[in-house]
Amino acid sequence: MTDTADIAAGRLPPAQLAANFADAHPPLSPHEAVVEASRCYFCHDAPCIEACPTGIDIPGFIRKIGTGNLRGAARRILEANVFGGSCARVCPTEILCEAACVRTAEEDRPVRIGALQRRAIDWLMEHEPTPFARAPATGKRIAVVGAGPAGLACAHRLAMHGHEVTVFEARPKPGGLNEYGIAAYKLADDFAQREVAFILSVGGITIDYGKRLGVELTLPDLRAGFAAVFLGMGLAGVRALGIAGETLGGVRDAVDFIAELRQTGDKARLPVGRRVVVIGGGNTAIDAATQARRLGAEDVTIVYRRGPGEMSATVDEQDWAQTNGVRIRHWAAPQALLGAAGQVRGVTFLRTRLDQTGRAVPSGERFALEADMVLKAVGQVFMADPLAADGSLLLATEDGRIAVDAERRTSMPGVYAGGDCVAGVDLTVAAVQDGKLAAEAIHRAVTG
Amino acid sequence: MADLTTNFAGIRAPNPFWLASAPPTDKAYNVVRAFEAGWGGVVWKTLGEDPPVVNVSSRYGAVSYNGVRIAGFNNIELITDRPLDLNLREIRQVKRDWPDRAVIVSLMVPCTEDAWKSILAPVEDTGCDGIELNFGCPHGMSERNMGAAVGQVPEYVEMVTAWCKQHSRMKVIVKLTPNITNILAPARAALAGGADAVSLINTVQSITGVDLDQMAPEPVVDGQGTHGGYCGPAVKPIALRMVGDIAREADLRRLPISGIGGISSWRDAAEFIALGAGSVQVCTAAMHHGFRIVDDMIDGLSNWMDSKGYRTLDDFRGRAVPNYVHWSDLNLNFKTLARIDQDLCIKCGLCHIACEDTSHQAIAALRVDGARRYEVIDAECVGCNLCAHVCPVDDCITMQPQPATLPKLVWPQHPNNPMRIPEAAE
């Protein structure tokens, strides 16, 4: 172990940093898009549609790309998913539509649905920045908590139906995880903000920033002041490791590291350790580790307590991290964070193995990794406190999150919820579907 | 290694792959490059009277299909725009330098005996192997009463052919236009005029597309377009049919045919030869990819012939002709049924939706334990082949001929035919 922790900014020349955080997967050229579109078989009862949480008419929009009807293609996507632009960039298509693509079964080479979707949406945003037409005003006012994908998908659909929507957002900017929680090279060129502006161009949506549920707002007040309420505030808490040394300097939550990186224009000002250890097995771990590497960290290791098959990051994401020079070590759980002079200097791990019940348990074997920076990515949790009154929760929960029915109704009449704060898969595209379904349910309820 | 040497109406060549009369054969420079690449012969781009014609700028239109370039191709170029004497000198030199290759000269002059007579002698003097009469050019020259304007009138075909045979000793190939209702009429006229062979098809009158911004047919010449001659892979079926029509006629059976139309590979060539062609001519494929394509044409045809045990081209030439029959000769008691290989099926559902919407509702779309499954309903299947054509997976849907339960029955004897020929009384 060296004497002092090595955390520094500007490890790479500015041009290299700019390249490292530019678009990781450049768009298809017009000709590439036509050729790729021609690979779509235009299936009947297409499996890809079923695999998309928002049910986009994938063969339909791809056919339109093939015929040069990019406007129609983009509008077909947006009908089902108003966040089609960011979903095209961040969706794990390899486990959704592209996994279901019949070309995967045929030749293990699916149609590049995500890339084609991006082609259509990018075209529309460039050529027709305000494509949305609202229904006549209904005079109904709806409150939405959270300006992330769930909240804005809900708000947009409600606005289309003619309702007036006020979105309450705790942070200074809209976009939720698209703005604060996703690797920069996945949503390059300020795409999260450009997309929100595109969505808000529908009109009828006001965002009230700096408003947190449980602090500046209460659910009963919202319920009283609006015809309906949609909760889409995501996960406000992060899990701790629960081991010694978590307060040492250089130990951070990966989500904070990613958020700071996203909000820092000049990446040369961002400090990063020479040796970085990331603990966890999800997309947050991948995004934190890969971005640490791209900031110039020399040695980045992800450590996960189980095997590659159990990681919630997809195989493609794991490959991406490894291609970026990140090492992934499986079957090890952190035991203690080691420090000197208040700074973290290393982590000791216990090797794990599966016990008879299928749980990963320590095997007794130990190893240590040197580290100047440790990023914790062992999961985010729903914070229910803002929904409590007089010591009891106002809404029923399920698996520690807000319980909802198929229409995204909570246990409280007039209150709906979606996105990461409800049980289910934590994906942008699933959040969009929640918001959309809730908006339709709210629309039926307030106009019925 | 199969023997690809060709003797076409007495014209010899090391292989049957000739370049058609077109831009690739307009100059010695191109032709020499073609011979270096291995082409068996060329038909030199059509010569006419001096002064030479003038060609427009913007000459080609193309049909792209799903991003694939040049599925079909058209042109509005006319005959050579170079001086006659220059072409004649180059032809003479090329033939001298490449004596084993077929060098045929395409000709088109006004429809008078004098005009034809006066061009034949200097052409014959080049030492070329023969001439091809361009009775097919469907654009431009036809407006001047040449090209297809001659080819569409059998009497003119016979007349001009006869002039050429009368005023020269050269082999005469008559190139036929497909822009006609019955290809047999000009073919018979050519034979009657003494032609040594026919070649077909010339290009099909066409507009490849309309430029929707300029609101003009393509290719656009200063804001306007004209119809051109269509060729390339898209016209192969039209050409095969016309070649077959001539090849199966008893009175035309001995007339050599040089097959032209969308030939891009050795397989295309083999199909034309199987339908009776003695040589094949290529243009669009070469214009798309360059002369090097002849390498695989020669190699692929040879390998295929070896695999089939055909030693020479004559071993399989015309073998498909007896099986090219009229509809009324087809067996109405033949039955074939679609079979889906469930292990190969990728669940695209195209067979189902094609049959359900546009055919016979003979493929059921099922869900078995949630999984898609497509099954043929034999009782409804008429054996139309549609599903096998739309299925994107090779050999997943195959058509299986059913065992014959009834003797062959053709329409002339079918009970539903009001014009039925009664069976002879016992």
Residue A23, in any domain of the structure: no
Pairing between β-strand A275-279 and β-strand A299-303 as defined by DSSP bridges: parallel
**CB nearest to A44's CB, from B346, B353, B393:** B353
Set B128, B137, B381, B387: catalytic member:
B137
pLDDT surpassing 90 at residue A273: yes
Task: Give the model's pLDDT for residue B174.
Answer: 98
Give the chain B residue nearest A108 (alpha carbons).
B346
- Amino acid (1-letter code) at residue B79: I
Give B407's pLDDT tier (boundaries 50, 70, 90): very high
Between chains, do A41 and B66 touch, taking CB under 8 Å as contact?
no
pLDDT surpassing 80 at residue B298: yes
Residue A289, in any domain of the structure: yes
Same domain, A273 and A358: yes
Residue A3, in any domain of the structure: no
Q: Which of A268-282, B139-153, B194-208, B228-242 has the lowest mean pLDDT?
A: B139-153
Q: Best mutation site among A102, A107, A112 for testing chain B: the one with the most B CBs within 10 Å?
A: A102
Give the gyration radius of chain B's Cα atoms: 25
Chain B residues with CB-CB distance to A108 below 8 A: none
Task: Give the model's pLDDT for residue A315.
Answer: 95
Same domain, A365 and A278: yes
Domains of chain A: total: 3
A35 in B contact zone (CB under 8 Å): yes
Q: How far is B75 from chain A (nearest CA, A)?
A: 24
Give A387's pLDDT tier (boundaries 50, 70, 90): very high
pLDDT surpassing 90 at residue B138: no
Same domain, A409 and A354: no
Residue A19, in any domain of the structure: no
A106 in B contact zone (CB under 8 Å): yes
Chain B residues with CB-CB distance to A47 below 8 A: 347, 372
Q: Which helix (H) or strand (E) holds A438?
A: helix A428-447
Between chains, do A44 and B348 touch, taking CB under 8 Å as contact?
yes
Task: Give the model's pLDDT for residue A363.
Answer: 87
- From A327, A344, A379, the end of a domain falls on A379
Chain B residues with CB-CB distance to A37 below 8 A: 66-67
Task: Give the model's pLDDT for residue B237.
Answer: 98
Chain B residues with CB-CB distance to A59 below 8 A: none
Between chains, do B392 and A106 touch, taking CB under 8 Å as contact?
yes
Walk me through the domains of chain B, giving residue ranges and CATH numbers. Answer: 6-323 (3.20.20.70), 334-413 (3.30.70.20)
Same domain, A192 and A250: no
**CB nearest to A41's CB, from B68, B348, B352:** B348
- From A74, A93, A127, the end of a domain falls on A127
pLDDT surpassing 60 at residue A217: yes
Task: Give the model's pLDDT for residue A391.
Answer: 82
pLDDT surpassing 70 at residue B426: no
Which residue's structure tokens are 């420090």?
A: A339
Chain A residues with CB-CB distance to B66 below 8 A: 34-35, 37-38, 66
- Count other C-beta atoms under 10 Å from residue B238's C-beta: 17
- Count other C-beta atoms under 10 Å from residue B361's C-beta: 12
**CB nearest to B347's CB, from A31, A35, A47:** A47
Between chains, do B350 and A47 touch, taking CB under 8 Å as contact?
no
Same domain, A277 and A199: no
Task: Give the model's pLDDT for residue B421.
Answer: 75
Between chains, do B346 and A103 touch, taking CB under 8 Å as contact?
yes
**Non-local CB neighbours of B297 within 8 Å, separated by 6+ positions:** B17, B265, B266, B269, B282
Give B137's pLDDT tier (boundaries 50, 70, 90): confident
Q: How far is B219 from chain A (nearest CA, A)?
A: 20
Give A389's pLDDT tier (boundaries 50, 70, 90): confident
Same domain, A374 and A403: no
Task: Give the model's pLDDT for residue B66.
Answer: 80
Residue A287: closest CA among A248, A261, A263, A249: A261
Q: For B169-192, what is the mean pLDDT?
A: 97
Same domain, A158 and A177: yes
Distance CA(B125)–CA(B66), nearest Å, equals 49
Q: How far is B336 from chain A (nearest CA, A)?
A: 25
Q: For B275-279, what is the mean pLDDT?
A: 98
Residue A433, in any domain of the structure: yes
Task: Give the model's pLDDT for residue A2.
Answer: 54
- Tens of pLDDT, residue by residue over A145-188, are 999 999 999 999 999 999 999 999 999 999 999 999 999 999 99
Residue A12, in any domain of the structure: no
Chain B residues with CB-CB distance to A31 below 8 A: 67
Q: Residue A344 region, left (φ>0) first, then alpha (ψ -120 to 50), else beta?
A: beta
Q: Which of A325-329, A392-396, B211-215 has the lowest mean pLDDT?
A: A392-396
Please list the residues that pair with A276 across neighbouring strands.
Answer: A300, A373
- From A357, A379, A401, the end of a domain falls on A379
Residue A28, in any domain of the structure: no
Pairing between β-strand A373-376 and β-strand A251-253 as defined by DSSP bridges: parallel
**Exposure of A109 by Cβ count < 10 A (0-12 exposed, 13-18 middle, 19+ buried)?**
exposed
A60 in B contact zone (CB under 8 Å): no
**B137 annotated active-site:** yes
Between chains, do A102 and B67 touch, taking CB under 8 Å as contact?
no
| Cis peptide preceding B201, ω within 30 of 0 | yes
Q: For A237-255, what is the mean pLDDT?
A: 96
- Tens of pLDDT, residue by residue over A336-349, are 999 999 999 999 99
**CB nearest to A45's CB, from B66, B349, B392:** B349
Residue A10, in any domain of the structure: no
- Tens of pLDDT, residue by residue over B317-360, are 999 999 999 999 999 999 999 999 999 999 999 999 999 999 99
Domain that holds residue A216: 141-236+382-446
Q: What residues in chain B have their Cβ under 8 A from chain A's Cβ atoms?
A: 66-68, 346-350, 352-353, 365, 372, 392-393
Same domain, A259 and A334: yes
Same domain, A152 and A268: no
Q: For chain B, give the mean pLDDT.
A: 96
Give the chain A residue nearest B347 (alpha carbons).
A102
Same domain, A353 and A390: no
**Exposure of A145 by Cβ count < 10 A (0-12 exposed, 13-18 middle, 19+ buried)?**
buried
Q: For A100-107, what is the mean pLDDT?
A: 96
Task: Give the model's pLDDT for residue B364.
Answer: 98
Provide the CATH number for the domain around residue A97: 1.10.1060.10
- Count other C-beta atoms under 10 Å from residue B260's C-beta: 33
Give B423's pLDDT tier (boundaries 50, 70, 90): low
Same domain, A110 and A213: no
Q: How far is B274 from chain A (nearest CA, A)?
A: 33
Percent of chain A past pLDDT 90, that is, above it, reads 95
**CB nearest to A44's CB, from B66, B68, B350:** B350
Provide the CATH number for the domain around residue A174: 3.50.50.60
Q: How many CB pairs under 8 A join A and B?
A: 43
Same domain, A182 and A284: no
Chain A residues with CB-CB distance to B365 below 8 A: 44-45
Chain A residues with CB-CB distance to B347 below 8 A: 43, 47, 102, 105
- Tens of pLDDT, residue by residue over B61-101, are 999 988 789 999 999 999 999 999 999 999 999 999 999 99
Percent of chain A past pLDDT 70, that is, above it, reads 99
Q: Are residues B171 and B196 in contact, defined by beta-carbon separation less than 8 angstroms?
A: yes
Distance CA(A293)–CA(A125), nearest Å, equals 32
Q: How far is B227 from chain A (nearest CA, A)?
A: 24
Chain A residues with CB-CB distance to B346 below 8 A: 102-103, 105-106
- Tens of pLDDT, residue by residue over B36-70, are 999 999 999 999 999 999 999 999 999 998 878 99
**CB nearest to B393's CB, from A38, A46, A106:** A106
Residue B174: closest CA among B255, B118, B254: B255
Q: For A400-423, what is the mean pLDDT?
A: 97
Task: Give the model's pLDDT for residue A401.
Answer: 96
pLDDT surpassing 90 at residue B139: no
Pairing between β-strand A275-279 and β-strand A388-389 as defined by DSSP bridges: unpaired
